[in-house]
Amino acid sequence: MSIGSCLLHRGIALGAVLALTLGATACGESDEDRVRAAVESLQEDFAAGDIVAVCDAMSDRSKQQVGRVGHQRKPTTCRRDMLALLNSIPRQAMFYGETAPNLRRLPKPEVTGVEISGTKAIAETDLNGHPLSIPMIERDGEWQLDDFFVITGPVRPDLD
């Protein structure tokens, strides 16, 4: 290979790398951005009462949690279990004196940082001045909520 052709090849290779880098920056997001966006999207869907969209963005483990807690039976469908869970919340304790849930008025945790480890991530958030670490997991290229109740210790074996 002549020096000229070598430089030409190098130029093409450099151009390709530059193009890939620019393309990735322009049309892609970092994993941190995607985790942040996934949490915010979950919150928006929940506030809008779009339980189907919320369920789509929850891992199987999260769905199992919701299905098993509070109503003494096995999980059914995510949508049905989510509605049962929300209906189990005492009305007098929540929703600002209103008789029906007003999910839009619920203060939401704000993402302050993201830590990624492989296909798992922790969305560090702030809720009313207190930190809350929300586990997320990547499935089929999408980041999903991996722990509805944000437990810190061992989960029940049948939920893990």
Partner 1 sequence: MRSITKLISLGVLVLMISSTTSAAPANDPGVEAFDTRGGERRPCPPVDTSGNYVRGGCKSFATTLQTNVVVRTAFGALPFGYHCAFSFNLHIDRTGRTWMDRILIGGGAATPCNDIRPCEPNALKPSPADRRNKGADNPVDFDPWRGQLRAEGDRFINRFDMCVDTCAGRFEGQMEFALVREDAGWTVRAEAAPAGTSGLAFDGEWPLDPGRFDLVAEN
CB 60 within 8 A of CB 139: no
Closest CA to 145 of 2, 64, 38: 38
Q: To the nearest whole angstrom, how small is the minimum distance from the Cβ of residue 77 to partner 1?
A: 19
Site pattern 119..138 for partner 1 (x: CB under 8 A): ----xxx-xx-xxxxx----
Decide whether 31 or 101 has the Cβ nearer to partner 1: 101
Per-residue DSSP letter, 38: H
Q: Which two tokens stand for residue 79?
A: 């949508």
Residue 20 phi/psi, 5-degree rounding, is -65, -45
DSSP β-ladder status, 130-139 and 142-145: antiparallel
Shortest Cβ 150–partner 1 spacing (Å): 3
CB-CB contact of 149 with 65 (8 Å): yes
* Least separation in angstroms between CB 69 and partner 1: 5
Q: Which residue in the set 34, 43, 81, 114 belongs to the binding site for partner 1 (CB under 8 A)?
A: 43
Assess contact for 149 and 67: CB atoms under 8 A. Answer: no
| Minimum CB distance to partner 1 smaller for 80 or for 108 | 108
Q: Candidates 4, 74, 90, 99: give the one binding partner 1 (CB under 8 A).
A: 90
Binds partner 1 (CB under 8 A): choice among 18, 22, 37, 151: 151
Binding residues for partner 1, rule CB under 8 A, total 43
Q: What is the SS3 assignment for 144?
A: strand
Q: Which residues contact partner 1 by CB under 8 A?
A: 39, 42-43, 46-47, 65, 68-70, 72, 88-90, 92-94, 103, 106-109, 123-125, 127-128, 130-134, 145, 147-156, 159
